[in-house]
Amino acid sequence: MSVWIIPAVDDDARANYPKTLIAPVEQQRLDRLPEALEVPAGEVYAWGFPDKKRNRAWLRQMAPGDICFFYTEGRSGRQYGWAARVLKPLPLEQAKSVSSAFWDSEGFLPYLLERPVEISAPTEVLGKSLDPSGGYLWSHPQGSMPIANKERIAHALERFGTVEAWAIQFIRQHAVSVLPASGDIEHVLEEVVEASTGRIGLAEVFKPKTGRIAEESARWGGRAVRRSKRSKLVGDIGERAVLAHLKATLPAALRDSVRWVAQAGETPGWDIEYVDSDGDLIMVEVKSTTCDAFVSFELTENELRAAQRHGDRYHLFLVANCGNRKAQRLQVIQNPAKAFESLIRPITYRVGG
């Protein structure tokens, strides 16, 4: 797979954002497509290269699953404002008719996209992530291109393994929102989940506040945290990583007993369960963060009661650097209700039903 840089800041591009990039294609435009062209059911997104000789070569090289970073102009000025996977490059022989249907012009070479993700990343931020020494892609792009200079992105390759893995992690870190309705960024993050399988490095990742800061926090009773839409995605990634870790480390005879109860919509007070070698049911609650350590985390009343009730059979898994396959770390706490008894305090209460 390739990762593409796509500049889209000229007048034509800005006029086309709402037609196919930041909103799904309207039905009346879809009705104008060639009958022989197959498009997916439901929402359709697309973009296109300006019809030039070099870009025709790029369209032939582009493949489903490639990732595109779109350099756009928006509320925060010119920056990388959107990212999306390529669903399907369209044949050159259909380019003019599709371009006309989508953008009222025959001058583009179209490709279909999966639902785009809104990001916020100045050029220097993206360039520094690839090449901290400076220069490569630190300034605005001059034309569409794949990120293919392995010497210039050696830093990213050393850290993430592939340019695709770097791109997915970068999107996760800089995602602002996703388009409304049915979309989310979990599909974009699937490779992060897959890269997080196997054994997670064990480490002390819970580093609670101490001293005056902790005392002040306790005196005022703490403060409830507003959860972003991304928090569930990070939580799901952490749970999948723990599932993979358990299946990689448990004896073969026990692996079939591992069950992801949270995915099944059950809320017993833990996320995962399995049967140990003594035949006891082990309950696993997972907390995840993209930071390299926890200074605190939240337990629901249901989770705390389950931890108190089940004691040593209740295990808390803390996943730090969640999704970063090189740096991901795990701390396991048995019987957290007892281990953290002096640190547990209520921070919020529900009034009403």
**Domain residue ranges in the chain:** 3-178, 201-339
pLDDT of 227 strictly over 60: no
The label of the residue with tokens 């870009």 reads: 55
Helix, strand, coil distribution of the chain in percent, nearest 5: 35, 25, 45
pLDDT in tens, 69-90: 999 988 778 999 999 999 999 9
pLDDT band at 325 (very low <50, low <70, confident <90, very high): low
Domain 201-339 in this protein, CATH class:
alpha beta
| Cα-based distances in Å from 212 to 173, 218, 219, 329 | 31, 10, 10, 28
Alpha helix (H) residue ranges in 45-89? 53-61
Could you tell me the fold of the domain covering 3-178?
Answer: ph1033 like fold (3.10.590)
* 3-state secondary structure (DSSP) of residue 108: strand
How far apart CA 235 and CA 216 sit, in angstroms, is 29
Rg value, the chain, Cα: 24
Find the helix or strand (DSSP H, E) in which 167 lies: helix 163-174
pLDDT in tens, 133-166: 878 888 899 899 999 888 989 999 988 888 988 9
Helix count (H) and strand count (E) of the chain? 12, 14
pLDDT of 246 strictly over 50: yes
pLDDT at 207: 76
pLDDT at 259: 95
pLDDT band at 212 (very low <50, low <70, confident <90, very high): very low
| Cα-based distances in Å from 158 to 154, 247, 259, 281 | 6, 27, 34, 40
pLDDT of 177 strictly over 60: no
Ordered DSSP codes for 13-24: HHHHIIIIISSP
**Dihedral, CA atoms, 266, 268, 272, 273, nearest 10 degrees?**
-120
Residue 238, judged by CB atoms within 10 A of its CB (0-12, 13-18, 19+), counts as: buried
pLDDT at 38: 83
Q: Give which of 48, 49, 39 is closest to 19, Cα–Cα.
A: 48
List strand residue ranges (DSSP E) for the chain, in order: 3-7, 45-50, 67-74, 77-89, 108-113, 117-121, 145-146, 175-178, 201-202, 259-260, 272-275, 281-288, 314-320, 329-334
* 3-state secondary structure (DSSP) of residue 42: coil
Q: Give which of 66, 67, 55, 112 is closest to 89, Cα–Cα.
A: 112
Strand partners, 113: 45, 86
| Pairs from 122-125 (Cβ < 8 Å, separation ≥ 24) | 122/79, 122/80, 123/71, 123/79, 123/80, 125/174
More confident residue, 195 or 317: 317
User: What's the full length of the chain, in residues?
Assistant: 353
How far apart CA 171 and CA 182 sit, in angstroms, is 19
pLDDT at 241: 86
pLDDT band at 118 (very low <50, low <70, confident <90, very high): confident
DSSP state of 200: P
